[in-house]
Structure 1
């Protein structure tokens, strides 16, 4: 468990007017407004929560939006069966701490039932779509919060804050609605739902500066630590039951950290000595690669891999 010290990049909180909001305050205010709008417009919203940093920040913002009352949403996690143990442990502790209800859509259960087939490469991220969309339909969720940000990947940069999905949970970029003056249109037909992205306008650096300012606890996996890893397709992967390493892949112990977390089979670590949040912020500030571009193999399957999955119902 890691407690981080409050820290932001020099000058990031400076304003020209004593009445102006700082950059982080403006982002926080926008996100809180979005949570409250959804609470007012929809009947059964749910927050996608994996125990990753973006979903942790999203939960923190939701708690702020409705304090001192409890948040009026449950949580939903799509469990691939290849998740990092540190992240699942954090997820369960957060649910218990805040007295929340957690829905789990299990990829492994779908494989065991013959509804999904294991991929030859062992990667399960592309298999999440069916359990996710069927869980949304089964529970009749009409708004689903996701932690996607526009700076992560070009397909996510196309998304609006409110992203309409049809009765098959599919995304059509042509059906996106204008969002002038932070006015969000949640109208949808029976069977349709809306994906909601409160962190759309945040960057990876914004997220980390906010984590520092709010003293938000994260899984230790986000900070530099020694871990047995092996290299595949230019990324350091963690060995596991998902199918790695192969006979020609050598495991070695390195000091690494994770910029993003997901399925162990496609989420790579980066070499790092950033053991504190100040060092993480400094490291990100000079990075020229987005976190997904640097560490997510599933986004490299094709030029439009993410957009294809989003059209099918993925986040």
Structure 2
């Protein structure tokens, strides 16, 4: 259903056109996500939204703001900064925080490397190093519910996970402790020290996300749209040079038109060749793709078939 506001200020509900199946799908997905946000607000004491500046966490925040508007958002944001983020993403993150006047918690991997709590990996990839700062931030701030932008279509381990995902006192995920979620009823019970990860976008697909971005005119970080960038090819992906290093011997630096399908550690997240500079062009591109964004552009998911599930068992999202 769509909404408009009458001259009296009372919302008027207008049924969607029966032929507009895409609209119907987005309306149902939006309604489900808003219901989840409100359920968590009523059931938990200290929820937080994990915000990376990527498209999924941006849509997540958009839905959260919409769920409580015109009241201010009752949650703060948490960002785990690997130190290998693309500068456009950090700039966008700060703009969003300022726009909505939000409180932002930043857990920095760099701090853990500096004092020896973590050690740099031989491959230079920092995505797995996010786990300890994330769990420490959850514990120190006593967050009992943590919203994430994960979707079931991204990866098979995420497809196993419920919308309310119980984590033990060590932040670990146990598939055997998954709870049934029938008739949109969610069980958030947890023991002291445990917390619940909450995934309101679980039933969105990548195409749904982009349809929703287009419908709602959601602003995104510029890297999601085609732009000229220096890149080099490694392991079948187009990587960009940065603090994590540049091209190795035999890897040629080229300036090409690319865009990013997902945000992650710069040392392991690749771009795709693209001329799609607006939402409609990206919609056509995503609809024609046969690879998920993680499968196409995330090197850390290629370590093994169970790479994501192994990280989730350790406390990763």
| Bin for the TM-score computed over the shorter chain | over 0.9
Q: Which residue matches 1:83?
A: 85
Deviations 1:134-176 (A, max 9, x none): 1101111000000000000000000100000000000000000
Does 2:175 align with 1:173?
Answer: yes
Deviation at 1:16, TM superposition (A): 5.7
After superposition, residues 1-315 of structure 1 pair within 5 angstroms as: 14-15=17-18, 22-315=24-317
Bigger RCO of structures 1 and 2 (CA < 8 A, at least 6 apart): 1
| Alpha-carbon distance between aligned partners in 2 of 1:147 and 1:112, rounded to the nearest angstrom | 29
| Alpha-carbon distance between aligned partners in 2 of 1:247 and 1:302, rounded to the nearest angstrom | 26
Deviation at 1:39, TM superposition (A): 0.1
Count of matched residue positions in the alignment of Structure 1 and Structure 2:
302
Deviation at 1:248, TM superposition (A): 2.3
Whether the 8 Å CA contact 1:121–1:243 is kept in 2: the answer is: no
Deviation at 1:247, TM superposition (A): 2.4
When the two structures are superposed, what TM-score results if normalisation uses the length of structure 1?
0.94
| Alpha-carbon distance between aligned partners in 1 of 2:215 and 2:199, rounded to the nearest angstrom | 21
Q: Which residue matches 1:4?
A: none
Deviation at 1:17, TM superposition (A): 9.9
Deviation at 1:220, TM superposition (A): 1.2
* C-alpha distance 16-221 of structure 1, shift in aligned 2 (>3 A): closer
Deviations 1:81-103 (A, max 9, x none): 00011010010010011110000
Computed over aligned residues only, the root mean square deviation of the Cα atoms, in angstroms, reads: 1.5
| Alpha-carbon distance between aligned partners in 2 of 1:109 and 1:249, rounded to the nearest angstrom | 31
Runs of 4+ in structure 1 over 3 Å off = none
| Alpha-carbon distance between aligned partners in 1 of 2:130 and 2:18, rounded to the nearest angstrom | 43
Deviations 1:262-308 (A, max 9, x none): 11001100011111111000000010000000000000011100000
Structure 1, unpaired ranges of 5+? 1-12
